[in-house]
């Protein structure tokens, strides 16, 4: 393979993770940063650093002309968008190709097909993958008619985009119109399209996702599943692999469904097919496909031994997959908890500022993915993620125990963090015995996490 120079169009721990994978492959790296990130740890580790613009994401990480120009002017051959920011933008992927840059991710047409929940849902249905009752609505009146067909409670959410923005839960007709208007307004502001999707809300659900990987030569595999049920306002807080709540039959169905969708798309790169598993009914429903590397990818790496970012880089440059489905084995169990600069006593309000102490405890079987260092000025402009604590053990209880030990030994000062909340959660019977569903955190910690 020819020498590659990769422009890393992201920040934080994922930028550091990409730089590390490139270093081990012998690829050169150029990091695009905002004015607020010029002294960040990824900036210290990259081969070269270019300032894209001001501190806000719209001035830098979302500034498409600046990113393209920086990549071209530094002689890069490819752009890795990480997750968030430009990672799911089909127009950005096309612009990369038009300027001779390899976009390290799916093809533009795949991004377009998956960026719209409506088309993704139709794709799933076309290959026999079950979807939840629901559909798109253009007006509040349309929403009311559909709601009466599928029943309450239900979710109204943006047809485009994700991350919990533009998503509202509705329990009766009285609250539907206001929720629809708010969801549509948020969706329009965040994603440029106010189309709202309505679907049945599952009261007790497990959120399970399947990791897929495909190359440009028609080879596609899955790398088992993860459970991501522990969430707050649709933001994941704890992830684990594998999902021990699944029967062998349900697990096989999920893997099969994920590969059906990947095959239908002729999918290239990393991706995650997400499902809801109804605990009471046993039903499985397709949610969406995230066409990028996921925040929680390290738990899959821990149990499979596969470096997902390395594989993503290689298939982007045309290399055939070196792995076949029979090569994938799940070894033990892994959990990941997300430590953030947020105040649990204030509804997880962000708490940026100066990090005066940062001393992760060395624990066997624990990996820290972080861009923190002592005296780091945590900026107020971006996601509040400080670190991902990934614990691997021979079984689930061993992995949880190692995560507890790692969090207990962390010395972090200067910022209010979710460390106490995470420690408390890991000691609760519901997590220990894996009875958590997607609503559990908001219900269980209503006092600790006040809205």
Q: 250 and 326 in contact (C-beta within 8 Å)?
A: no
Task: Just give the CATH number of 133-200.
Answer: 3.30.1490.20
pTM: 0.91
292 part of the active site: yes
Q: What is the DSSP string of 323-355?
A: --GGG----SEEEEEEEESEEGGGTSEE--EE-
Backbone angles phi, psi at 101, to 5 degrees: -105, 135
Q: What is the residue extent of each domain of the chain?
A: 5-104, 133-200, 205-449
Instruction: Report how far residue 105's alpha carbon sits from residue 88's, in angstroms, rounded to the nearest whole number.
Output: 8
Backbone conformation region of residue 352, classed left if phi is above 0, alpha if psi is from -120 to 50, else beta? beta
Euclidean distance between CA atoms 179 and 186, whole angstroms: 11
Query: What does the alpha-carbon distance between residue 80 and residue 87 come to, in Å, rounded to a whole number?
Result: 8
Q: Choose, from 17, 292, 338, 402, the residue flagged as catalytic.
A: 292
Which CATH class name applies to 205-449?
alpha beta
Pairing of strands 78-80, 102-103: parallel
CATH class of segment(s) 5-104? alpha beta
CATH fold match for the domains 5-104 and 133-200: no
Beta strands 220-232 and 333-340 are unpaired
In this structure, are residues 339 and 418 in contact, taking their beta carbons and an 8 Å threshold?
A: yes
How many angstroms separate the CA atoms of 296 and 240, rounded? 8
Rg from Cα positions in the chain: 21
Q: What is the pLDDT along the chain (451 residues), one digit of tens a residue?
A: 778 999 999 999 999 999 999 999 999 999 999 999 999 999 999 999 999 999 999 999 999 999 999 999 999 999 999 999 999 999 999 999 999 999 999 999 999 999 877 889 899 999 999 998 888 888 889 999 999 999 998 988 877 655 555 578 899 998 999 888 888 887 776 666 778 888 888 878 999 999 999 999 999 999 999 999 999 877 899 999 999 999 999 999 999 999 999 999 999 999 999 999 998 888 999 999 999 999 999 999 999 999 999 999 999 999 999 999 999 999 999 999 999 999 988 888 999 999 999 999 999 999 999 999 999 999 999 999 999 999 999 999 999 999 999 999 999 999 999 999 999 999 999 999 999 998 888 787 654 544 4
């Amino acid at each position: 393979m020819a020498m590659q120079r990769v422009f890393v169009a992201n920040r934080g721990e994922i930028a550091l993770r990409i730089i590390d994978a490139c270093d081990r492959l012998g690829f050169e790296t150029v990091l695009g940063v905002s004015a607020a990130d010029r002294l960040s740890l990824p900036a210290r580790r990259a081969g070269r650093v270019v300032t894209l613009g001001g501190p806000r994401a719209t001035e830098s990480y979302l500034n498409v002309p600046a990113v393209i120009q920086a990549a071209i002017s530094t002689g890069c051959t490819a752009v890795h968008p990480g997750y968030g920011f430009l990672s799911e933008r089909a127009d950005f992927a096309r612009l990369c190709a038009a300027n001779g840059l390899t976009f390290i991710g799916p093809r533009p047409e795949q991004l377009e097909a998956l960026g719209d929940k409506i088309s993704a849902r139709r794709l799933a249905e076309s290959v026999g993958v079950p979807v939840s009752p629901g559909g798109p609505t253009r007006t509040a009146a349309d929403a009311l008619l559909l709601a009466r067909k599928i029943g309450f409670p239900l979710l109204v959410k943006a047809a485009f985009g994700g991350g919990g923005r533009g998503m509202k839960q509705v329990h009766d007709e009285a609250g539907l119109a206001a929720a629809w208007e708010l969801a549509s307004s948020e969706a329009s502001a965040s994603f440029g399209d106010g189309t709202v999707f309505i679907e049945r809300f599952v009261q007790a659900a497990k959120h399970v996702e399947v990791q897929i990987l495909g190359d440009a030569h028609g080879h596609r595999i899955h790398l088992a599943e993860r459970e991501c049920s522990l969430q707050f306002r649709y933001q994941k807080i704890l992830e684990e692999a594998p999902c021990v709540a699944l029967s062998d039959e349900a697990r096989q169905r999920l893997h099969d469904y994920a590969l059906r969708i990947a095959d239908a798309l002729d999918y290239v790169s990393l991706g995650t097919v997400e499902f809801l598993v109804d605990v009471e009914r046993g039903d499985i429903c397709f949610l969406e496909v995230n066409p990028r590397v996921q925040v929680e990818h390290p738990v899959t790496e821990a149990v499979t031994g596969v470096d997902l970012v390395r594989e993503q880089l290689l298939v982007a440059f045309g290399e055939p997959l070196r792995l076949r489905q029979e090569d994938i084995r799940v070894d033990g169990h892994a959990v990941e908890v997300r430590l953030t600069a947020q105040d649990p006593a204030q509804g997880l309000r962000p708490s940026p500022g100066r990090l005066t102490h940062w001393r992760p405890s060395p624990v066997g079987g624990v990996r820290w993915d972080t861009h923190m260092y002592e005296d780091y000025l945590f900026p107020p402009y971006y996601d509040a993620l400080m670190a991902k604590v990934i614990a691997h053990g021979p079984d689930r209880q061993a992995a949880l125990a190692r995560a507890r030990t790692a969090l207990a030994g962390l010395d972090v000062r200067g910022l209010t963090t979710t460390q106490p909340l995470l420690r408390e959660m890991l000691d609760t019977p519901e997590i220990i015995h894996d009875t958590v569903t997607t609503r559990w955190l908001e219900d269980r910690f209503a006092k600790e996490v006040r809205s």
